[in-house]
Structure 1
Amino acid sequence: MDTINHHKTPLWFWCIGAIALLWNLAGLAAFFMHLTMTPDMLAQLPEAHQALYTQAPDWLNVAFGIAVVGGTLASIMLLLKNIFAVILYSLSLLGVLAQNSYSFFMSDTFTVLGNEAMIMPILVIVISLFLMWYSLQLKCIGLLR
């Protein structure tokens, strides 16, 4: 006779998963607002900010999209205990790193916005790294299948 082992999923799993999903949904909302910025909205920004927006390469939007869509889908997969969360968090991390490499190394973003503007990109990188690591740990302990 086969014994079925039913282990209750720990509360911390659901809490971290829900927070990860909310975090990525906020990123998805920011991406949507970025893509739907109208010329009138852009005109309300200071000139230096307008230049940052208009001079950004197209691949930056692709990286941003990969980061937030990948992260959102990964969080959903995580809550479904699906192994694809690991792959999607990996893709999301690549998008985050590509997007932020532009801000840190290829533009004058922090000259225009100030050094305090580095806080959010660094936080995004740290959280992306954590979620990638976390999903790998869940895979190792068998919570993701």
Structure 2
Amino acid sequence: MNGTMEIPRSRGFWLVAIIALVWNLIGVAMFWMQVNMGAEGLARMTEPQRQVYEATPAWLNVAFAVAVFGGVLGALGLLMKKRWAVTMFFVSLLALLVQMIGAYLVTPAWDAYGPAGLVMPVVLILIALLFWRYAQKCVVRGWLV
């Protein structure tokens, strides 16, 4: 026995950790589908969507990978009660920002999607921000070691 008492976590803690894991695993699936898209997938896209896809440089896909796998590691860190979850969620958030801003700067995303196309990136960034802030609060509460 190490003489320290473990601080109990609420059911909400476990619920948020599981939701974060599922959410980021969905992101991994989206990443996998994007980087392994074949001719059939490209054929189903509209012309503007195909132009965005074809104009996407490899470094944006790297940022996408870092964002989703960083988020998975952050969620696993929460489930394992480790404070490095905060770092992983922060890395995920930064990579997501690079990916989203980069997509609008170096591809014809604005022409393809217009202002309405910003809704999903903003939602994704807000969710990533919330996971990071939640992990920070978990450290303050003593739930992560």
TM-score, L = length of structure 2: 0.90
% same residue: 33
Whose RCO is larger (CA < 8 A, sep 6+)? 2
Residue of structure 1 in register with 2:84 after alignment: 84
| Match of residue 135 from structure 1 | 135
1:18-69 CA distance string (max 9 Å, x none): 1111111111110111111002321231222111101111100000000000
Deviations 1:65-113 (A, max 9, x none): 0000000111011111111101111110111010011233443313212
Structure 2 partner of 1:41: 41
RMSD, aligned CA:
1.7
Distance 1:141 1:111 in 2: 46
Structure 2 alignment gaps of length 5 or more: none
Q: Is 2:92–2:128's contact at 8 Å kept on the other side of the alignment?
A: yes
Q: Give, in whole Å, the separation in 1 of the partners of 2:140 and 2:25.
A: 26
**Alignment partners' CA distance in 2, 1:18 and 1:34:** 24
Query: Partner letter of residue 57 of structure 2?
Result: P
1:35-114 to structure 2, matched below 5 A, reads 35-114=35-114
How many residues are paired up?
Answer: 144
Q: Secondary structure at the match of 1:72?
A: helix
Contact 2:103–2:109 (CA<8 Å) still a contact in 1?
Answer: yes
Gaps of 5+ in 1: none
Conserved in 1, the CA contact under 8 Å of 2:56 and 2:106? no
Q: CA deviation at 1:117?
A: 2.1
After the TM superposition, which parts of structure 1 deviate over 4 Å for at least 4 consecutive aligned residues?
A: none
